[in-house]
Every structure is written in structure tokens, then in C-alpha cells.
A and B are shown apart, each in its own frame.
Chain A
Amino acid sequence: MDTSLFLVQLLNGVQYGLLLFLIASGLTLVFGVMGILNLAHGSMYMIGAYLAYYFTTLTDSFLLAFIISGTIALVIGIIIERFLIIHLYKRDHLDQVLLTVGLIFIFNATQSYVWGNDPLGVEVPELLSGSIRLTDIVEYPVYRLFISLLCLVVAASMYFTINKTRLGMMIRAGESDRAMVENLGVDISKLFTIVFAIGVFLASLAGIVSAPIVSLVPGMGEHVLISCFVVVVIGGLGSIKGAFVAALIVGIVDTYASVLLPQISSMSIYLLMALILLVKPQGLFKN
């Protein structure tokens, strides 16, 4: 592999990693704060992608599709938390698994019913469709750079919200001792709705922006969910900082493995996870 290809793969790896972070951060946030492991988190990624497809086709504008789909995702998040997840807080993990796996089936059936099982694609929005020249012979698509930039902006906003704002302090406090948060006059159920909706939104956002660079197929949600688990486990359950670092590592390793070691590429990230857990059984950043 020469340097220019190496560079392109590095950018691809970072871009994939950042996208994984977007999804994994929502998963880990919801788990860390609310103690809920949402197995349907990947479905929200899928739904985001299909909504983007639907509204791009309908409106002919990716930007409009982006806004509408993002809004719908937020609403879906609020509805799921208010009507379903709310019943889980006092129940055990098995009930969480049953409910959220049930949601996967519902979302998959909906996807199949509405959009069918043939692969679909979304065109890269015109404004971002060009490439920029990295070296004399290497070009890189602007849209992928846009994804990376967007993910970085989201990561920075999350960092700011969680660490610097009062809402973020309340969310962290809820992670530590939710009864005490209530004792301070905070409506914890509203806080949980907000956190869950943010989590769903982040996964859907990843699906929306991925739509132009992946093919939309049934099962895309489960595939990404498993990669997210790897990220969350490597990073340390509940740690957003950990998810960030782990997502980049997983993204880069996965990308290089598929170029350098195609025979084992599908298991590379699991090998990586096993190695890291051997050294750090709690993940890189134990919460």
C-alpha cells in the first residue's frame, strides 16, 4: 500500500469511526444515565437512513430530508420512551431485552413493508458531491469530509452540553444517584425522556448522513448495532469519552483490515476487542 492509498484509508477509517461514535454515544449515554440497554438502537440508524431516502425522493432536497427525518426521529424517541421504555425502569434486564428486541422486529417489518427488501440508494447532495485533491494523484470525496466534520461538531456539542451546561450536570448527576436528583426538585422522568430522545436522534442522524454512501438494505441496523457494542465495550460501558476513542480505533482498524487482511477482516474488530479486554477488562475508560 503506498502512502496516498494509506492516507485515503486513514480518512475513511476516521470517517467511519466518527460515524460509529455518533451511534455508539447515544447507546452508551442512554445506558449510562438510564440503565437501559436499547437493543433497538441500530434500528434507529436504519430508520434514519430510510427516512432520508423517502424524503429525498419526495422533496428532491437532501437538506429538507435531513431536517424532516431528524425531527421525526426525535419524535419517535420521545414516543418510545414515554409509552414503552418508561415501563422498564423498575424491571430487570430480561424485560429490557424482550421489549427492545420486539422493537427491532417492528422496525424491520415496517421497513420491509414500506420500502421493500431491494437495496436502495440516495444520491450525494449536489453541493457536496465533488472531490478535493489531496496529493497529485489522490482525490477524496467532499461528502465524506462533510460527514467527519458534522460528527466532530456533534461530538463537540455533546462534550459541551454534558460537561458545561446545567442540563449536562443534571444528566451526570442522574447517572450517579437518580433519587437524589429528584430530591433536588428535578423532574427525572422529563430528564430521561430528553436523554432517550437525544440517543435516538444521534443514531438516526448517523443513518441520515450515511444514506448517500451506503446501500440501504434490510438488517443494516443490526449490523451497525453489533459494531456499536464493540465500541461501547472497548470504550467502557457508559463512558462517552471512551466511546469516542474506541470508535476511532474500531473505525481505523476495520478499514485497514478490509484492505490489508481481507480474509480476516470481518473478525478484526472482535479480535481487537478481545485483546483490549485482556488488558483492560472494564474497557479503556471505566466509568
Chain B
Amino acid sequence: MQNILEVHGLQTLYGESHILHGVSFDIKAGETVSIMGRNGMGKSTTLKSILGIAPPRSGSVIYKGEDITRLPTWKRMRQDIAYVPEGRGMFHNLTVKEHLQMAARKNSRGETNWTYDQVLEVFPRLTERLTNKGTQLSGGEQQMLAIGRALLTNPDLLILDEATEGLAPLIRKEIWQVIRQIKDSGVSTIIVDKNIKVLNELCEQHILIVKGKVVFNGDSETLNENKEFIEQSLAV
């Protein structure tokens, strides 16, 4: 199978502080990949470097065989990447409906895999909130809107940063269900999350980042074999 994403030796700094120390990994098309790690280890920074939000000082990002390391963020997104950031990125002056309308577009091949109605079907809660402003929603609803908005760009690669963080168990379950549905539709997905149990059964590949370095990269089977080491690295 072909790689949708290849990340080579990312070195990323915020001002003077050196955060990523040569992060490398590949992601196969259609696979779902977890990125794990304790707080502040550089998971979000890795995603931001891939997306050009925190451009790496060196290293490269190859997406669908093309070097996108120097492209501006919006152009990468135009190549069918969607990003649900930590904090969800709600617009305080747009309604739920407008969030979805403004984001919706065909993908670069002119296909529409997700429509407005389909998004409301997987997130029925949003239907009752269509005229509310993005920031008036509960945390769970915001997360649903952020994911729904990302889906309406019809991505090939979906990047989710802490999509279930701080949510009630029932809402989490709902969100995991939708992520599963997205996976089944064939979209490649990178998930940063803390719930190893769910990640273990959902993802084909797992990446563990400690202090800006990849210390583990393997499938669920290997993950289970190294369970002790992984849990140790994740314990606070």
C-alpha cells in the first residue's frame, strides 16, 4: 500500500525552545494512526509542523508523494487535508449552520463524499443548535461541529487533536463512533488522544512521542507486546 504521508526528521522550535528533535514516520493510505504521549511532549507540535502552522526548521513532509514542506497552510488543506485543532477553533460570530456552510467544498478531485445533511445525520445534536453561535455550544457540541466542518471539506487525510478531551463519557462514545465511521469510509486519519484502549482497537499504527522524539512506532500487536513500556511512558 502507498504512503499518504511521510514525515522525515522534523526539527521544530518555538523561538529558542527546541521542541521536535527529528520526528519521522510514515502513514499508509487509508490507515488510522494514533499519536500518543504525555502532556507537553510535542504531539500537537508534530501535527502543526505537518500542517505548516509551526513550520519545522529542517526535515520534510511528503504528502501523496509531493514535498509540501514549504507550502502555506491553506494550500496544504486544499489538497484534501482537514484539521480539527485542540481548542476546536470555533468562530464566535458564526452560527453552527454558517460554520458548516463556509467550510463546505468539493475535494481536489471534485468529489463530494460528505454533505451538509449527512453531517447533521451523524451529529443529530447539531440540528437543534443550527442558529446558535459556535461558542455558545457545549464542549461536546463544539467538537462535533469542528469534526463536521472538517468532513465537509471532503478530506483524504483527517487530523484530530484531542477530539475527546474533557468530554462526558456518553459524548465521547458518540464521537468515537463517528470517528469509526470516518475510518470505515476510507479516510486516512491521525488521532492524538489519551485513551489507549480505544486507540488500540481503532488504529492500525501507533506512534509514541517522548520529549519531541518518536520512541515507539508499530501496529496494535507490537503495542500490546510493549504494553509495559508504553504505559510507563504515558504515566504522569
Contacts and interface: CB of A to CB of B under 8 A. Distances in A.
B101 interface: yes
Contacts of B57: none
A10 B72 CA distance: 52
B130 to A, nearest CB: 14
A185 B89 CA distance: 14
B94 A183 contact: no
A176 B92 contact: yes
A185 B78 contact: yes
Interface string B144-158: 000001000100000
Contacts of B77: 182-185
Given A185-B74, A185-B105, A180 B85 contact: yes
Contacts of B90: 177
Most buried by A among B77, B93, B102, B153: B102
Contacts of B75: 187
Interface stretch (A16-24, A77-85, A166-174, A250-258): A166-174
Nearest to A176: B91
Contacts of A183: 51, 53, 73-74, 77, 83, 85, 89
A179 B53 contact: yes
A169 B101 CA distance: 8
A242 to B, nearest CB: 14
Interface in B4-18: none
B74 A176 contact: no
A166 B94 contact: no
Contacts of B165: none
A179 B87 CA distance: 13
B219 interface: no
A283 B44 CA distance: 39
A188 interface: yes
B98 interface: yes
Most buried by A among B51, B74, B93, B153: B74
Contacts of B105: 185
Interface of B: 51, 53, 72-75, 77-78, 83, 85, 89-94, 98, 101-103, 105, 149, 153
